[in-house]
Structure 1
Amino acid sequence: MEKLILERLTTLGHPQRMALFRLLMRRYPQAVPAGELAQALGLKASTLSVYLSALAGVDLIAKSRHGTSLHYKVQQKAAREIIDYLFLDCCRGRPQLCPTIAPIPSKGNQPMSDRKLNVIFICTGNSARSIMAEAIMRDLDKARFNSFSAGTRPTGTPHPLALATLERNGHDIANLRSKNLDEFQKVGAPQMDFIFTVCDSAANEECAIWPGRPTSGHWGIPDPAAATGNDAEKSRAFARAYKQMRARIEAFAALPDITPGTPELQNNIDEIGNMPVQGQGIDHGTF
């Protein structure tokens, strides 16, 4: 086992292989298409293939075939074995010495009912999917949640069809705006309890560390702004995205225990992220 661990560490010693592994860790438990990996990291297909083969060769990742496409996923057991090898001896009985694997402080097994929980939905442009998610969460359960949204590269204005879809479904759109993620990472910004990425492009990006170790999840939905056709067809794409986003948010809000940081909640969030969506395809991450 020690030899294998050392081989894994050697494999991860290459900057681009490490970047690939970190991207797949951010997307876990989902399997990511090879083409999306190449696009996200700016790699040629041949170069990506070499890096994927190296990671698979030491059991750090696994591949599966979906139609004609190969998808890749981190082997969490292998990642844990590396952590154990590096830190378990020094931390045995003294977890305070290794904060990276120390347990998250618990506030008990009861839901956090003493305050409202802060939830942020992140997309690339913060113009369609994340804007709709903010409005849905805000209006679905105002008593328990404060809802926000932001973009890694915001467009500056919400998409007109996103606003029309929300208004058609009874949401107040007056105060919705496209915001930069930096706004929520400044001193004095609300501390987030939950962070959900809703487009693959945003999930693939490396972001700054959030204070408080919030619970995260990826609920990717196809970009309605990428829909082609006439106005009616484009409107239907936004209606589908709204329906899919609402179903996920309703499933989250209906969970019996929403205590940030618990393994059970993380598993539930990951399961919600794997709910089937209509029109799944290439996510251009424009909005």
Structure 2
Amino acid sequence: MEHNHIAHAFATLGHPGRLAVIRLLMRFAPRAVRPTEIAQALGLKPNTLSHHLSDLTDCGLVRVRRQGRSLLYSVDLDATGRLLAYLALDLGRARPDLLTQFPPPEDTTMSKTGFHVLFICSGNSARSIFAEALLRDLGNDRFVAHSAGTRAGTQPNPHALQVLDRNGHDITTLRSKHLSEFQTPDAPVMNFVFTVCDTSAAEECPPWPGQPITGHWGLPDPVKAQGTDAEKALVFAQTYAALRRRIEAFVALPVASLDRISLQSRVDQIDAREFSED
């Protein structure tokens, strides 16, 4: 990026509201987000958000595309990467004492088995419970599956447990867990962290130690389904099927032979493909 463009980007990010918008979009990356979802997550008025998005788009950090009558916004990862590289390499002259907060991974590939994977949703009652059980049973001992929620005091949804039981999963050990269980000093270091609902992706969470590969596989909350018990059960079954397709694609990845950049790209592609089909 040229210095004028860099200065423009920094000036744009100097506003707390615009900085909050791009931080939110980054948590959804590479998926695009509707303005209504951004406004709801950040508590912004529509006209205020519109100005922020316009400024971020003008400086090249955010992309916009039209889908039907809706506008969808996403982070331009290439432009953001160039901005970070400028900070670290040009402005910072790659000084090691300035880069201590960004230690490189021990190696560029994940050369071991038993990869720890955490699935996060708001309640840890359905979607993340589905994902934990699916990865546990489809992962062939290559993965250690965990799930957690950002809300306390929840329990696995009965409809979710019925779907899992009907599909042959052991439900006796499944329980709802708060995210704080995985943020203690003795918690396992995660290799992968996935959010499976838009609410949890929008939550303010500290960076995960160990630089895990991250992904957002947001799906509608089946707990909010309306109608008869049969109609609700169908929604839960559809959510289970959507997550099963993602998990099957994930466990098929040659994790140990991919470098981190390639692995992140392949994880992003799983959601991009499934999101276009859901």
TM-score range, shorter chain: over 0.9
Runs of 4+ in 1 over 6 A off after TM superposition: none
The residue number in structure 1 matching 2:111 is: 112
**What SS class does the counterpart of residue 274 from structure 2 fall into?**
coil
Partner of 2:141, secondary structure, is coil
Give, in whole Å, the separation in 1 of the partners of 2:124 and 2:196: 10
Match of 1:192 among 178, 186, 190: 190
Partner of 1:268: 266
**Greater mean alpha carbon deviation, residues 83-92 or residues 54-63:** 83-92
Deviation at 1:278, TM superposition (A): 8.8
- Residue of structure 2 in register with 1:127 after alignment: 125
- Using a 3 Å threshold, how does the CA distance of structure 1 residues 65 and 249 change in structure 2: closer, same or farther? same
Q: Which residue type is aligned with residue 251 of structure 1?
A: A
More helix by share: 2
2:227 pairs with one of 223, 226, 229? 229
Q: Which runs of 5+ in 1 are unaligned?
A: 281-287
> Once superposed, what is the RMSD of the aligned Cα atoms?
2.1
Aligned mates of 1:19, 1:225 — CA distance in 2: 29
Residue of structure 2 equivalent to 1:246: 244
**CA distance, structure 1, for counterparts of residue 18 and residue 89 of structure 2:** 25
1:227 maps to amino acid? A
Distance 1:231 1:255, change over 3 A: same
Instruction: After TM superposition, give the deviation of residue 13 of structure 1 in Å.
Output: 0.8
Asked whether the 8 Å contact 2:105–2:210 carries over to 1, the reply is no
Give me the whole-angstrom Cα distance separating, in 2, the residues matched to 1:199 and 1:261: 27
Offset, 1:95: 5.5
Kept in 2: contact 1:215–1:261 (CA 8 A): no
Counterpart residue type for residue 72 of structure 1: Y
TM-score (norm 2): 0.92
Instruction: Quote the Cα distance in structure 2 between the aligned partners of 1:172 and 1:96.
Output: 50
Matched, 1:49 2:50: yes
Could you say which residue in structure 1 is the equivalent of 2:36?
35
CA-CA distance at 1:99 after TM superposition: 4.2
Q: 1:8 to 1:191 in 2, by over 3 A?
A: same
2:246/2:274 contact within 8 Å kept:
no
TM-score with structure 1 setting the length: 0.89
Equivalent residue for 1:2? 3
Give the fraction of aligned pairs with identical amino acids, expressed as a percent: 49
Distance 1:101 1:76, change over 3 A: farther
